[in-house]
């Protein structure tokens, strides 16, 4: 029998040691090498920001200012193992170098709109003697910590913004989209905001034909002059008073007027660069000829192909296609060419064409060349085909401990798959993927009637992706969408859960996917799922103790439509913070359910899911947050289908990617004890799920190309039924009982990042278990045990001898591939 207890003890001790080590300061965990003896050297740097700054702004400034230490004052530490660091060849300390650092930091703060910062520097030297064993002597280290206290003052605000462009067309375009300006009166001033505004203007101009216009043709000026000083006076005392008042106002409430000018005649005396004065660069251009080379080889040079012979030319309304072998027809290029001859050059349409052709999958790379001809621009598009066909092999593995079907088992899952891909079916850039997959769940405790294999899975799937919308009618506005695809898929699978059930399924669907900027939409108007379920002896016995399972495990078909929405975006105040939002819904049986002859054959339900993830990076560590919610409602009035969703559409909790202190499918429902006290079927499926996860990730060591990291995490949540059932009390969601029902797990983990994949091992402890009777479900650390023995010993119904007992653990170990969220 596989005994995991030594592993638990090692992980627990490792967590304790890591926690104690982290509590020590970084200085105490740093080894200094090659330091100057009896001479002060830079050992540590510290910045303290004072003033009434918002929390996010303070964090942003602190992170940025760390990059502006002068090299002669910077102590560069390198991580060597776990939480220990080394400092090699630290620089000699010289107080003169502090002034250079304040100059660098002052320049950065000025660029962010802080023009009146105050600096106070200090340093202190710590004497430390290091004993060298071989030389039998102690070397004196004079470790110097340089501390810089900065009070940035108040951020300068924008008082007004105006445009003064000599070209009437440029002036009109600037005023037409003024509401999109990055510079807002009353908003904070910074050089980054000014640069963003100039980039916005250039992008707007290049959308309207100004192909050669760049930022060199625009300039922004900031005027901080106090308007009260423009009133003339001959009284020197009044003038001095006005100057003093103006200086005081600038410090208390600094403002700036921003003006955008055109570098041209107005600034001729300041700029001598003749290219800036070239009027040819300040006129609109039109799209000329478009030439596509869809069979360009990776070794061929585009510039030589422009005038090469031997190509066959195929003329089309908007472009000309040159080819030799005829590997591609014109349809995929025609569907994703958004530039038209004779129209004004639009840079957004140019990049949209390049990006969409690159994302189809048939071409690995798209290179372009342009030639100006009068007031037109000819474009040469060189498309390098991707590898047409390939076969990939994948191996997956997972491990989790906890209560699982039939016993308190340790499950090890292993699966392999082979996928054949064809990236240019019928010469139309259609993507084809054919997959075969097989896997097993192994019962390492050898329970379940002594069978090592607990679950067997096998599946075959085929998917075709067409690089356009295939619809019986034209979709209005589809030319404004990106990455348009039509997908057709079919999947056949077989699952054998030994002694419980055999499930055969055939799933096919037709759907569409598209992007709008950073938003991804998927709509599947037709999704058909056919299921055949054979219940075996173990499941039939479970029906007797839990009748609710009978309605979840039934035979029916699904005819549904599905919609999902995904968006990923950076935080506005801190671009380093990434946010991810996903919503999805599925509706089944609404239309076909109106026909009486179909009501006994198809499921009728509606299901919603929502997920939010936020990743907050720090200098060396990362905090990852996740919130998830899902709910499904069955509205069929047939007793055959009952009041719950079919089990393959229900929610589950526990395992490597959910509540990690519980085994797979071993949490819930609510605070019900029906499954925990069952000796047969112990899997849990619910119609509602709420979950919140938080994880603190930190680096541990680097071994070659493998980065090893650690994590501290907590998982909070549970699954419930929607409707109350007498046979399973406390399983339905009730807001008044939420505090009792919620489960809380805490733990630690190790991540091994091999760049192309990541292996993760997590160890979780049930801090609050709804099934724990003592202490209102909370863990009593003074009476901690690895197993929960509150209930009478439960015999394993799957054990032929009738002697094996089921154990309920207070922990779980999870093995996963990739990050949990």
Q: Where are the beta strands (DSSP E) in 656-742?
A: 688-703, 706-720
pTM: 0.79
445-449, 730-734, 796-800: which is most confident: 730-734
pLDDT tens by residue, 266-312: 455 455 554 445 566 788 999 999 999 999 999 999 999 998 888 99
pLDDT score at 269: 43
Q: Which two tokens stand for residue 51?
A: 């003033």
pLDDT at 464: 97
Which tokens belong to 382?
Answer: 């060189």
Task: Give residue 246's pLDDT band: very low, low, confident or very high (50, 70, 90).
Answer: low
Tell me how far the alpha carbon of residue 330 is from its chain's centroid. 36
Mean pLDDT of the chain: 83
More confident residue, 617 or 445: 617
Closest of 437, 527, 531, 456 to residue 490, by C-alpha: 527
Give the Cβ contact number of residue 220 at 10 Å.
18
800 in Cβ contact with 641 (< 8 Å): no
What CA–CA distance (Å, rounded) separates 745 from 364?
A: 45
**Residues 708-726 pLDDT 10s:** 999 999 999 999 998 887 7
pLDDT of residue 138: 63
Could you report the per-residue pLDDT of 346-376, keeping only the tens digit for each? 999 999 999 999 999 999 999 999 999 999 9
Fold category of 292-385 in CATH: Ubiquitin-like (UB roll) (3.10.20)
Domain ranges, ordered by start, for the chain = 25-151, 157-282, 292-385, 389-817
Per-residue pLDDT, 461: 96
Instruction: Looking at the structure, give the CATH architecture of the domain made up of residues 389-817.
Output: Beta Barrel (2.40)
As a whole number of angstroms, the distance between CA 349 and CA 365 comes to 18
For residue 551, pLDDT beyond 80: no
**Is pLDDT at 237 greater than 90 in this prediction?**
no
Segment 619-628 mean pLDDT: 92
pLDDT in tens, 28-76: 577 788 788 778 888 888 899 998 888 888 888 888 898 899 888 888 7
Beta bridge partners of 775: none
């Amino acid at each position: 029998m596989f005994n995991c207890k030594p592993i638990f003890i090692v992980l627990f001790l490792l967590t304790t040691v890591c926690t104690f080590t982290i509590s020590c300061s970084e200085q105490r965990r740093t080894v200094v090498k090659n330091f100057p003896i009896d001479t002060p050297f830079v050992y540590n740097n510290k910045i303290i920001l004072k003033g009434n700054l918002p929390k996010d702004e303070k964090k942003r400034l602190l992170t940025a200012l760390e990059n502006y230490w002068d090299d002669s004052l910077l102590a560069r530490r390198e991580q060597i193992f776990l939480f220990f660091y080394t400092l090699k060849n630290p620089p000699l300390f010289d107080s003169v170098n502090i002034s250079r650092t304040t100059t660098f930091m002052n320049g950065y703060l000025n660029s962010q709109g802080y023009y009146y910062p105050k600096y106070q520097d200090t340093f202190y030297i710590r004497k430390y003697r290091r004993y060298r064993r071989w030389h039998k002597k102690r070397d004196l280290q004079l470790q110097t910590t340089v501390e810089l206290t900065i009070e940035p003052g108040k951020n300068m605000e924008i008082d007004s913004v105006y445009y003064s462009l000599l070209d009437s067309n440029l002036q009109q375009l600037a005023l037409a989209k003024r509401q999109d300006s990055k510079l807002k009166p009353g908003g904070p001033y910074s050089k980054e905001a000014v640069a963003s505004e100039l980039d916005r203007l250039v992008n707007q101009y290049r959308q309207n034909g100004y192909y050669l216009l760049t930022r060199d043709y625009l300039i922004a000026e900031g005027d901080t002059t106090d308007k009260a000083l423009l009133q003339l006076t001959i009284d020197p005392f009044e003038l001095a008073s006005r100057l003093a008042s103006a200086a005081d106002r600038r410090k208390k409430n600094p403002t700036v007027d921003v003006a955008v000018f055109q570098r041209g005649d107005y600034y001729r005396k300041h700029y001598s660069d003749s290219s800036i004065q070239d009027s040819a660069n300040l006129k609109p251009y039109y799209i000329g000829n478009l030439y596509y080379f869809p069979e360009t080889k990776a070794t061929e040079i585009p510039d030589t192909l422009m005038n090469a012979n031997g190509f066959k030319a195929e003329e089309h309304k908007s472009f000309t296609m040159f080819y030799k072998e005829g590997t591609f027809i014109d349809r995929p290029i025609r569907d994703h060419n958004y530039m038209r001859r004779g129209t004004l050059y639009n840079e957004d349409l140019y990049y949209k064409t390049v990006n969409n052709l690159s994302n189809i999958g048939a071409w690995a790379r798209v290179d372009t060349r342009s030639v100006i001809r009068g007031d037109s621009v000819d474009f040469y598009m060189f498309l390098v085909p991707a590898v047409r066909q390939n076969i990939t092999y994948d191996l997956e593995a997972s491990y989790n401990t906890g209560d699982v079907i039939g016993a308190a088992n340790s499950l090890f899952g292993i699966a392999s798959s082979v996928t054949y891909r064809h990236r240019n079916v019928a010469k139309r850039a259609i993507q084809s993927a054919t997959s075969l997959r097989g896997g097993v769940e192994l019962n390492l405790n050898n329970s379940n009637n002594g069978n090592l294999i607990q679950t067997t899975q096998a599946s075959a799937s085929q998917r075709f992706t067409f690089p356009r919308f295939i619809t019986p009618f034209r979709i209005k506005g589809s030319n404004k969408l990106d990455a348009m695809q039509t997908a057709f898929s079919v999947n056949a699978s077989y699952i054998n859960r030994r002694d419980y059930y055999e499930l055969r399924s055939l799933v096919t669907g037709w759907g569409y996917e598209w992007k709008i900027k950073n938003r991804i939409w998927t709509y599947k108007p037709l999704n058909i799922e056919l299921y055949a379920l054979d219940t075996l002896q173990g499941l039939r016995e479970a029906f007797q103790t839990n009748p609710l399972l009978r309605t979840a495990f039934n035979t029916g078909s699904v005819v549904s439509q599905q919609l999902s929405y995904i968006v990923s975006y950076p935080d506005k105040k801190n671009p380093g913070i990434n946010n991810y939002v996903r919503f999805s819904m599925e509706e089944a049986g609404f239309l076909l359910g109106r026909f009486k002859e179909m009501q006994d054959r198809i499921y009728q339900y509606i299901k919603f899911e929502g997920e939010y993830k936020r990743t907050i990076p720090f200098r060396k560590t990362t905090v990852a947050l996740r919130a998830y919610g899902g709910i499904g409602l069955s509205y069929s009035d047939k007793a055959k289908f009952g009041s719950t969703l079919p089990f393959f559409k229900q929610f589950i909790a526990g395992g490597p990617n959910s509540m990690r202190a519980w085994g797979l499918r071993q949490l819930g429902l609510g605070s019900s004890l029906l499954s925990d006290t069952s000796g047969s079927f112990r899997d849990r499926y619910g119609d509602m799920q709420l979950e919140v996860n938080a994880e603190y990730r930190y680096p541990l060591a680097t071994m070659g190309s493998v980065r090893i990291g650690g994590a501290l995490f907590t998982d909070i949540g549970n699954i419930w039924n929607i409707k109350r059932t007498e046979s399973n009390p406390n399983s339905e969601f009730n807001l008044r009982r939420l505090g009792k029902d919620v489960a809380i797990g805490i733990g630690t983990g190790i991540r091994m990042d091999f760049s192309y994949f990541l292996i993760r091992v997590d160890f979780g402890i049930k801090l609050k278990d709804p099934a724990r009777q003592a202490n209102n479900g909370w863990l009593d650390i003074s009476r901690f045990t690895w197993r929960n023995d509150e209930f009478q010993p439960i015999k394993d119904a799957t054990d032929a001898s009738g002697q094996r007992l089921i154990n309920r653990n207070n922990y779980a170990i999870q093995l996963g591939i990739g990050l949990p969220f």
